[in-house]
Amino acid sequence: MINHFTHQSTRRAARWWKTEPRCCFSAVLPTATIRLSYWLVALVLCSLPVKAYHYDLAELEQLDQHEQWIELTTHLADIPPTERDARWTLLAQHAGQGYAMTVTALYSREQVTQEVLALLQNHPFLLDEMSFMDAMLEIITPFYRPCFAERRQGCVRRYAELLATVDVDSELSYREGERAYQYLAPSEAIPFFSQAVDERGYCRDPKISTAVLETLAQGHSDYHAQALWIATQACNGIPLHGVEQHLKQSVAVQEALCRPYLDALMISGVTGKVCELAIAR
């Protein structure tokens, strides 16, 4: 796209070719060559790099006052990290709130996730700005809550994708996982619980164990890999509640957990024998 400066420069070049005496050129150069030279000048002018405009703090505050939330959000990074003081932090908080209010007013729940993820992909520095993210999630989170009670699986999954991207705290992840567990199915809680187990205390929670084991029992379902990661890595060394019964009854759970549980000495006795036989098959 040609900016205003380049466009004006091109027009001035064109006027010069039209108005200046050209007898000296026409005496030695054919008309076609003169036209070619003009277009070369125009091409150079059009190719000049356009420096992106950067806002200063006062201009960002003007955007804040005029509630230009999207523009404010995308220009927060114009202020270098070393200059981000309390005024900038307040602007980031306002931008998070304002951006969230804007997208939730304009778009459906199906579209909001796409908008937010696109924003964070284009401006990844926002992921590290807690003042922005906390303010945004304060509005986004209740916006998605009806998806659980309405048992809208697709909506809940998109919400889970959003929370996984923004890396929310374990308490919020667990709470939302409980809702998915209650209203949809234990397996639908897995993407939420997989963030909660960042704090290993949640590994002993019976709901998380049930969600993991039921997901593994389904074989290679949508959340199989996440459930296996919870059982064998995030909660490594902490046996899942009820795992022995599942290991005795489910071939799919045996295939997933027998070897890592035996290697980690997490099972023994009858269950250990069951797993040894399952591995030998």
Asked if the model's pLDDT at residue 122 lies above 80, the reply is yes
Mean pLDDT (the chain) is: 84
Torsion, CA 7, CA 8, CA 9, CA 11, rounded to 10: 90
> Which residue is it, tokens 């699986």?
153
Query: Which pLDDT score, from 0 to 100, does residue 35 have?
Result: 56
CA nearest neighbour of 192 among 207, 175, 210 = 175
Asked if the model's pLDDT at residue 58 lies above 50, the reply is yes
CA nearest neighbour of 165 among 143, 197, 194 = 194
> Which residue is it, tokens 């997989």?
194
Q: How confident is the model at residue 244 (pLDDT cuts 50, 70, 90)?
A: very high
pLDDT over 90 for what percent of the chain?
73
Torsion, CA 257, CA 263, CA 269, CA 271, rounded to 10: 10
Instruction: Note the pLDDT tens digit of each residue in 137-148.
Output: 999 999 999 999
Q: How confident is the model at residue 99 (pLDDT cuts 50, 70, 90)?
A: very high
**Mean pLDDT score, 145-157:** 95
Other beta carbons within 10 angstroms of residue 267's beta carbon come to 20
Q: How confident is the model at residue 119 (pLDDT cuts 50, 70, 90)?
A: very high
Type of residue numbered 119? L
Query: Backbone phi, then psi, for 271, in 5-degree steps?
Result: -65, -40
Please check whether residue 211 is in contact with residue 227, taking contact to mean a CB–CB distance below 8 angstroms.
yes
Rg, the chain, Cα only:
30
Query: Which pLDDT score, from 0 to 100, does residue 5 have?
Result: 37
Q: How confident is the model at residue 38 (pLDDT cuts 50, 70, 90)?
A: low
**Mean pLDDT score, 23-30:** 42
Query: Which pLDDT score, from 0 to 100, does residue 258 have?
Result: 94
Give dist(CA 63, CA 137) in Å, integer: 21
Query: Which pLDDT score, from 0 to 100, does residue 174 have?
Result: 96
Query: Which pLDDT score, from 0 to 100, does residue 7 have?
Result: 40
Instruction: Note the pLDDT tens digit of each residue in 204-241.
Output: 999 999 999 999 999 888 999 999 999 999 999 998 99
CA nearest neighbour of 29 among 37, 41, 21, 18 = 37
CA terminus-to-terminus distance, the chain: 66
| Residue 213: burial class (beta carbons within 10 Å; 0-12, 13-18, 19+) | buried
The pair of structure tokens assigned to 102 is 């804007």
Please check whether residue 139 is in contact with residue 100, taking contact to mean a CB–CB distance below 8 angstroms.
yes
More reliable by pLDDT, 280 or 3: 280
